[in-house]
Amino acid sequence: MSEKVIIIGSGPAAHTAAIYAARADLSPLLFEGFMAGGVAAGGQLTTTTEVENYPGFPEGIQGPELMMQMRAQSEHHGTRIRTETVDSVDLSSRPYTVKTGSDEYRTETLIIATGATAKRMQLPGEDTLWQRGISACAVCDGALPIFRNNPLVVVGGGDSACEEASYLAKFGSSVTMLVRRDQMRASKAMQKRVQRNEKINILWNTVPVAALGDQKLERVRIKDKVSGEEREIEASGLFYAIGHKPNTDFLAGQLEMDEAGYLITEPDSTKTGVPGVFAAGDVKDKVWRQAVTAAGMGCMAALEAERLLAAEE
């Protein structure tokens, strides 16, 4: 038997697609993943605290709470949710095949909303000290005792880096931001937030080159990219906030991607090059990358799938 719609993913894009598909009586089957790409079901917002820019919550809402509400809304309208990671798909003939562990499913349409995962730097020392001071999620790890009242370092100059630095300033004795250029990519509001915070020190044109320590992180070797000078600074925590990699490895050879692995879709559409296969959210978007834009694309994908199925009836 073939499903009408399978949705892969569990962030705002996947759940919005599920809500629309379920309300259109397409009885969607959604694979939310089990720590897929290293992130809990619910996606990137499960790794953050306050979300202040998602409409409908004037006082803001905690990221994990927002995702629990979206999941509940998907289920409420009849989405069937499986806590499994999709290992591969076969898009060579329709109905398409979706494989999880030892199970296989067939579907007329497929919505891919697998988002993105935080990048790591592969510094010397990183493998040994990973989760012993090095992390890619300040919100998940920042409150741990090893970081409290100790000097901390954040790498990156985007919104995530600013958010993480602000969050860590509550716990650490100081936070040093390493920004590889002479300017940040972050929004002006986020930049102001870190610049106003007395516990945050910004080092421009600076990158980490090694993580040092025995059983846990003790120091970070940093390099000034203008002068070439290297020096060591004390640090109990080194937090990466240098962007994300789209979760598309399981689609290798099946769909067109750009050089970074982002899925390519038609302009003003979520259609991929394969009829009936749609992509929504951060997995295809390296420009906007917001919860609300991901949700909007999830809506588009479900409507496009519904229209295709209706036209084929």
CB 257 within 8 A of CB 152: no
Q: Which does 113 bind (CB under 5 to 8 A by kind): ligand NDP, ligand FAD, none?
A: ligand FAD
CB 307 within 8 A of CB 109: no
Q: Which does 240 bind (CB under 5 to 8 A by kind): ligand FAD, ligand NDP, none?
A: none
Choosing from 21, 24, 26, 45, the residue that interacts with ligand FAD (CB under 6 A) is 45
DSSP character at residue 311: H
Among 46, 75, 12, 247, which Cα is nearest to 140's?
46
CB 106, min distance to ligand FAD, A: 17
Choosing from 7, 161, 168, 251, the residue that interacts with ligand NDP (CB under 6 A) is 161
Question: Which residues, other chains included, contact 200 with Cβ-Cβ below 8 Å and sequence gap of 6+?
Answer: 165, 166, 169, 174, 175, 176, 177, 194
CB 103, min distance to ligand FAD, A: 13
Residue 181 touching ligand NDP (CB under 6 A): yes
Question: How far apart are the C-alpha atoms of 104 and 238, rounded to whole Å?
Answer: 41
CB 213, min distance to ligand FAD, A: 25
Supply the DSSP string of 115-131, one letter for each residue: -EEE-----TTHHHHBT
Q: Which does 142 bind (CB under 5 to 8 A by kind): ligand NDP, ligand FAD, none?
A: none
Residue 160 touching ligand NDP (CB under 6 A): yes
Q: Which does 263 bind (CB under 5 to 8 A by kind): ligand NDP, ligand FAD, none?
A: none
Distance of CA 89 to the CA centre of its chain: 21
Distances (CA, A) of 179 to 159, 176, 239, 240, 293: 12, 10, 13, 11, 27
User: H/E element holding 63?
Assistant: helix 63-76
Tokens standing for 269? 């559409």
141 is catalytic: yes
Residue 142 touching ligand FAD (CB under 6 A): no
214 is catalytic: no
Residue 165 touching ligand NDP (CB under 6 A): no
182 is catalytic: no
Site residues (CB under 6 A) for ligand NDP, limited to 254-293 = 289
Among 136, 134, 129, which Cα is nearest to 156's?
136
CB 218, min distance to ligand FAD, A: 26
Residues near ligand FAD (CB under 6 A) are 8-14, 31-33, 36-37, 39, 41, 43-45, 47-48, 51, 53-54, 85-86, 113-116, 139, 160, 163, 247, 250, 281-283, 289-292, 294
Residues in contact with ligand NDP by CB under 6 A are: 53, 121, 155-161, 163, 180-181, 185, 207, 241-244, 289
